[in-house]
C-alpha cells in the first residue's frame, strides 16, 4: 500500500473535476480525498495499491469533466500510508 499526493493545475475549479475524480477513486476502492485549494489547484491524496494509484493518476491527466489540466505534481509519499488510511474509511470530497 502506498500514498499518492497530487496537485493539479489548470482549469479544474467549477468544472466537475472534483466530482469526476471522486467517482473514479470510489470505483477503484481508494481511500483519501479530493479538494479545491485557494490557489485554484485541486489537491488529491489517495491510499491504495501502486498500480491502482497509477490508474487514478492517468485518469486525472485525461481532463475529466469539463476541465483542462495543464500540469500535475505527483508525489509518492513515503510516510506511513496505513496511518493516513485510518483517517478515511472511503474517498471523500472535502470543502474548504
Query: Which one is catalytic: 18, 29, 61, 63?
Result: 18
Kindly report the pTM of this predicted structure: 0.91
Looking at residue 85, its pLDDT comes to 66
pLDDT of amino acid 81:
67
- Per the residue annotation, which of 29, 31, 36, 63 is the catalytic one? 36
What is the pLDDT, as a whole number, of residue 45? 94
Pick the CATH number of 2-87 from 3.30.230.10, 3.10.20.30, 3.90.1150.10, 3.30.70.100: 3.30.70.100
Count Cα neighbours of 60 within 13 Å in the Cβ-side half-sphere.
Answer: 30
State the 10-residue block means of pLDDT for the chain, 96 residues long. 94 91 97 96 94 97 90 87 76 89
Other beta carbons less than 10 A from residue 96's beta carbon: 6
pLDDT for residue 86: 75
**What H or E segment, with its residue span, contains residue 39?**
none
- Catalytic residue status for 18: yes
Q: Is 63 a catalytic residue?
A: no
Burial of 76 (0-12, 13-18, 19+ CB in 10 A): exposed
Q: In the chain, where do the E strands start and end?
A: 2-11, 31-36, 42-48, 68-77, 91-94
CA gap 84, 14 in Å, rounded: 27
CA 42, CA 38: separation in Å to the nearest integer? 9
Domain boundary assignment for the chain: 2-87
Amino acid at each position: 500500500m502506498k500514498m499518492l499526493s497530487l496537485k493539479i493545475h489548470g482549469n479544474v475549479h467549477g468544472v466537475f473535476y472534483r466530482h469526476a475524480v471522486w467517482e473514479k477513486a470510489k470505483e477503484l476502492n481508494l481511500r483519501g480525498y479530493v479538494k479545491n485549494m485557494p490557489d485554484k489547484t485541486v489537491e488529491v491524496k489517495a491510499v491504495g495499491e501502486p498500480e491502482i494509484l497509477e490508474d487514478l493518476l492517468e485518469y486525472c491527466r485525461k481532463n475529466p469533466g469539463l476541465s483542462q489540466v495543464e500540469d500535475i505534481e505527483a508525489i509518492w509519499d513515503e510516510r506511513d500510508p496505513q496511518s493516513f488510511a485510518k483517517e478515511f474509511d472511503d474517498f471523500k470530497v472535502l470543502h474548504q
